[in-house]
Structure 1
Amino acid sequence: MGRCPHCGQGRLFSGFLKVCPTCQVCGYDLGRIETGDGPATFIMQIAGGIVVFSALYVYIAYRPPIWLLLVVTLPLVLGLSLGLMRPGKGLMTALQYRSVEGSR
């Protein structure tokens, strides 16, 4: 939902993937939650797996020309990657918050 994992009210993102330094509602320091490259790694594996196996199935079943397969699959992998990146980063941020706060 793109909300602060501490209070659930404030915005989590200030840009497409940039996490706000602090929550505007509760003042929680969101800057100390760092997900690194985790979301990108998972999203690449998920989007790549879906597109590669779908393209392989379509190629084996229908034998389209390679150029047509590329015209369809490249925008699909780009759309899936960009579409899943923000929810993936939000999920990883929430899991990291839970890990940090659970250890206290």
Structure 2
Amino acid sequence: MAHTALDQTPMPATEDRPLKPAMWRGWRRCCPNCGSGPLLRGYLKVNNTCTVCDQELFHHRADDGPAYLTILVVGHLMAPFIHIVYSKFRPEPLVMAIMFSIGCVALSLYLLPRIKGALIGFQWAKRMHGFGGKA
């Protein structure tokens, strides 16, 4: 039985868990199992269980991974942009520092919960850290 990223039905425990839909559901901050229930309460706190399908979510071990990946992505996106802006427009250093500081903080705040959700979806799909049950 094939599941799409928009499929709202929970996965049976014995089937392989598709990686891309699980990570996409996590990126959207939804339960990686059903895609309907909220994954996070607040900004980064993970729910213990899904309110829709009762999937246990407390097994996750996201730890520092989402923060590291967020820094990696923001750095790789902003560094070339900083170079392009400085080369073409030559803004004052203080203006450039303020502008890119705000951009880095905003992008980091946007990406951090989404990357955390995607990482939890990855762990769920690969049955890592207790997400596999007895399988």
Same fold (TM over 0.5): yes
Match of 2:109 among 75, 82, 104: 82
Match of 2:39 among 12, 23, 32: 12
Match of 1:96 among 113, 117, 123: 123
> Alpha-carbon deviations, 1:58-98, whole Å to 9, x = none?
11222211001112100000000001111111111100101
- What is the TM-score with the length of structure 1 in the denominator? 0.89
Match of 1:48 among 51, 60, 75: 75
Which has the larger displacement, 32-41 or 70-79?
A: 32-41
> What 5-or-longer segments of structure 1 have no aligned partner?
none
The percentage of aligned residue pairs carrying the same residue is 30
1:57 aligns with 2:92: no
When the two chains are superposed, the root-mean-square deviation of aligned CA atoms in Å is: 1.5
- What is the TM-score with the length of structure 2 in the denominator? 0.70
Q: Tell me the distance in 2 between the aligned counterparts of 1:71 and 1:33.
A: 36
Runs of 4 or more, structure 1, over 3 Å off, are none
- 1:26: how far off? 2.0
Structure with greater helix share of residues: 1
